[in-house]
Structure 1
């Protein structure tokens, strides 16, 4: 029997990432209780009661509320959102959110209906670890190909600053040191490209707002990283092609640009959104002997340790060489 909306929200609130956000915990658990009580949440979210598990309904709902905060339409809720300077106790966030939901029911419903769309630049921390390893093993320059690239921000990774160890010191996007010894001298990208079924243009105000809304309202460091990456993308944008993963990879892997390099296919927290048949095509395409694949996807087994960064390529374990573990948002990493 499919889970109810309340059950989906409670299950999501128990994920390790959500447990790190008191605000998300308060919103998701409050909405779940309100649904069970037949409150305004039930009226607003009823159209999505049959959404498939991978549609990220709780995250879409939270993004809708954050958007109202960012656009100044929910001042009572903004008091609980550090991303806009709020400092009130997160435990009081749900009563404020409920008042907003009663006032803005139709708009919250319309915004919740939009597909989940994030571009978590924190995941460039495991990306850097993976690229350093491919460069070490091959000694070749790299062709970085990202599937599920959203606005293409992660393709700008070498314009970000990682602690005090790598990247332009004056970059507006600052990320933690990977915390893992790396030889970064060989990391040289000669091509970068991405695809997404619904790409966003980071220069577009609406796209920037959608991405900003998807960050959780009490995670200020993530919010600032995103704003810095969006600033960089204003002048250094990498266009993302509107295409499915398998069809796009088929073309890109057969394309040999004048600047030769090793193809490195990168994806992070994307697999759940891709049809299983198409994913099997992706795995077949990237199993070619001249292709490397960096996978940053949650492990399927219950109780797994964080999110593994796996490297697939010549000489690796069939299940991928695990290079590090991180969180759904990237750092901190550990071996």
Structure 2
């Protein structure tokens, strides 16, 4: 049953995330939507009558992605001023929003049909922190399996260069270097060699399709231009060399991959970021069961790892977590990170460790 108050509150929750993530333009826009959205358009009515759980469904990000696409198409000067930050007065934002909804109702309506598939390449740095811990435990050679790969941008992780607080990883001549602001403990260098990278998604996107590229760009917050530049370069890397991305149910795919022969001296690793919240619980439970069963069979010669960077609801950041077999079957939280990889903080304060006992339970979209 629709809950108008709850649907408005979802935009207030997103306002909090945006404020915490250094995105004041989007925060102001979310506040204006929460306070001023009306039923003067089909799209506005659909948002207010949203039947699902709006935060889990990423309703605010669906809608704002459509607004940004409108601006990127040069179709609405009023909203363009809002997205540039030229219009910051709440009443003026509300007026621009109301006008856009009436004038571009048909354009905005389909943006509510599915969740955003941002697949932010900056999150590869968070995943790399986890992979370094796996390499430290089990050796440098790693076979990567990613679920929820979306457009496959993080499947380029072996082709990106990283600067993690001064620790350099990856090809020196990589078109994309990901260098998050580093906080907390330094990370110890460790040899790492990714021998293969494969991914799956229930609805994969072909980022090399110009229409899909434009859609992905609409989900990139304009307040962080480095993200847009990185997206463009990452898609160019895909055009130069395709990634191994298939359409599949996450549980079906993982079960099949874990049943394949594993090369000796190579650690097989499941990784994902901002994915777990989207999985139906039966699918998530099958993945847990498959990983635990495969972990029980793992040996020193053929280890198994699991790396995730998933959101924490209260603090609007990611938690980087790892477990591996044999010998490390309990989750270890390595640190926290900005939802788009802008910063990483290695280390979890003792008082916060109990918050992250069950990283599988994360159920928030930060964007």
TM-score (norm 2): 0.81
Q: CA deviation at 1:118?
A: 1.3
Cα deviation, residue 308, structure 1: 1.2
**Residues 102/308 of structure 1: CA separation in 2 closer, same or farther (3 Å cut):** same
Partner in structure 2 of residue 60 of structure 1:
62
Which residue of structure 2 aligns with residue 296 of structure 1? 309
In the alignment, the residues of structure 2 paired with residue 199 and residue 49 of structure 1 have an alpha-carbon distance, to the nearest angstrom, of: 25
Matched with 1:172 is 175
**Contact (CA 8 Å) 1:132, 1:182: kept in 2 or not?**
no
- Structure 1 distance, partners of 2:194, 2:275, is 22
Aligned length: 327
CA shift digits 1:2-23 (9 cap, x unpaired): 6422122122222366652112
Counterpart CA distance in 2 for 1:26 and 1:41 is 23
Separation of aligned partners in 2, 1:88 and 1:135: 48
Once the two structures are superposed, what CA deviation does each residue of 1:152-206 show, in whole Å capped at 9, x if it has no partner? 1111123223246233444332322463644555211111100111101111112
- The TM-score normalised by the length of structure 1 is 0.88
1:286, 1:173 → 2: CA distance? 32
Partner of 1:45: 46
Task: Give me the whole-angstrom Cα distance separating, in 2, the residues matched to 1:46 and 1:89.
Answer: 24
Matched, 1:24 2:52: no
CA distance in 2, matches of 1:55, 1:142: 33
Aligned partners of 1:71, 1:259: CA distance in 2, in Å? 51
Alpha-carbon displacement from aligned partner over 1:250-306 (angstroms, at most 9, x marks no partner): 111111266862111001111111001110111121223232100111246xx4583
Q: Counterpart in 2 of 1:74?
A: 76
Give yes or no for the alignment of 1:330 onto 2:341: yes
Deviation at 1:224, TM superposition (A): 1.8
Cα 1:49–1:328 shift into 2, 3 Å: same
Could you tell me which of 194, 199, 211 is aligned with 1:206?
211
Distance 1:198 1:63 in 2: 18
Q: Secondary structure at the match of 1:55?
A: coil
Q: 1:158 to 1:48 in 2, by over 3 A?
A: farther
- Please name the residue that 2:322 is paired with: 311
Q: Which moved more, 1:266-275 or 1:115-124?
A: 115-124
